[in-house]
C-alpha cells in the first residue's frame, strides 16, 4: 500500500483501511452576505479539490450560501441571490485530495 492509512489493533485486526484518496482542509473563511472575492493558493496547482459553502445561521426568510469555484490556483466565491431568496453569511471551504 503506497499511500493511505491503516490502523490495527494490537492483535493485528485491521480497524481502518483507507487506501483511496482522502481530503485535507486547505482553506476556510467566513464571508459576509453579498460579498464576492477570491484568493490565490499557489500550492494547489495540479491538485484535485472540492469546494463548497455552508450557511451561517440567520433569522427568517430563505437564505442562500455562496457559490464556490476554482480555476487553476484561484479559489473564488460569489454571493447567491434570487427572486425568492437572499444571500447570507457563509463558511467557505476548499479541500484537497491527497
Give domain limits for the chain.
21-97
Q: Which residue has the cell 493485528?
A: 12
Segment 55-64 shows an average pLDDT of: 78
Beta partners for residue 7, in sequence order: 16
Q: Cβ of 88: how many Cβ atoms within 10 Å?
A: 21
Q: What is the pLDDT of residues 12-45, one digit of tens each?
A: 888 877 766 678 899 999 999 889 999 999 999 9
Cα 26 to Cα 47: distance, rounded to the nearest angstrom: 11
Q: Is the pLDDT of residue 87 over 70?
A: yes
Could you tell me which of 98, 97, 96 has the C-alpha nearest to residue 28? 96
Contact 22, 47 (CB under 8 A): no
Q: Which residue has the cell 489493533?
A: 9
Amino acid at each position: 500500500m503506497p499511500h493511505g492509512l491503516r490502523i490495527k489493533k494490537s492483535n493485528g485486526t485491521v480497524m481502518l483501511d483507507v487506501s483511496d484518496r482522502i481530503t485535507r482542509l486547505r482553506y476556510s473563511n467566513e464571508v459576509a452576505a453579498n460579498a464576492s472575492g477570491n484568493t490565490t493558493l499557489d500550492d494547489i496547482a495540479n491538485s484535485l479539490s472540492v469546494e463548497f459553502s455552508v450557511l451561517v445561521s440567520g433569522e427568517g426568510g430563505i437564505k442562500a450560501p455562496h457559490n464556490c469555484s476554482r480555476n487553476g490556483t484561484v479559489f473564488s466565491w460569489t454571493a447567491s441571490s434570487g427572486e425568492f431568496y437572499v444571500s447570507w453569511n457563509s463558511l467557505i471551504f476548499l479541500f484537497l485530495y491527497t
